[in-house]
Amino acid sequence: MQKIRPFLWFDKEAEEAANFYISVFKNSRVLEVARYGAAGPGPAGSVMTVTFVLDGQEFIALNGGPHFRFTEAVSLFVTCEDQAEVDYFWDKLMAGGGQPVECGWLKDRFGLSWQVVPAGLMTMLHDPDAARSERVMRAMLQMVKLDIAALQRAYDGE
């Protein structure tokens, strides 16, 4: 059992969201669907929680009602090996009504915030050469979906 698992509160879309997310990430599956009983608070027999795995990371999704919504204060960070992977995750997570934000951030159709980020970005942003890291930061701040080649050109001073 994984000691720490993100717990995602949905109105009534927990199962739909879990199925969507497992369709996006490899090595993913639903582990368990628990249903409300007669004691509620949801209708008896309706989905209460869905436990699922996304590429080795366990999550729990709850149908808890409309009381709470996702905010950008918490996001899921997807590390991508290359531009093809950035494009893949960006397009998949945007499908069905997602919204682009900026700097590699997006909201999926359920309102959950994601960061789709190339693996080398953090290294560039933390480079001890302040001029290099500042160029990368300026370039990134102009982007919505991140462009690895443009970030690399900024890093190289081109």
Domain spanning 1-68 has what CATH number? Answer: 3.30.720.100
The Cα 56–Cα 102 span in angstroms is 27
Quote the pTM value.
0.94
CB atoms within 10 A of CB 59: 21
Binning pLDDT at 50, 70 and 90, where does residue 154 land?
very high
- b or e along 80-98 (b: 16 or more beta carbons within 10 Å of the residue's beta carbon)? beeeebbeebbebbbeeeb
Give span(s): CATH 3.30.720.100, the chain: 1-68
Segment 97-145, tens digit of pLDDT: 999 999 999 999 999 999 999 999 999 999 999 999 999 999 999 999 9
Lookup: tokens for 47 = 């989905």
CATH fold for domain 70-158: 2,3-Dihydroxybiphenyl 1,2-Dioxygenase; domain 1 (3.10.180)
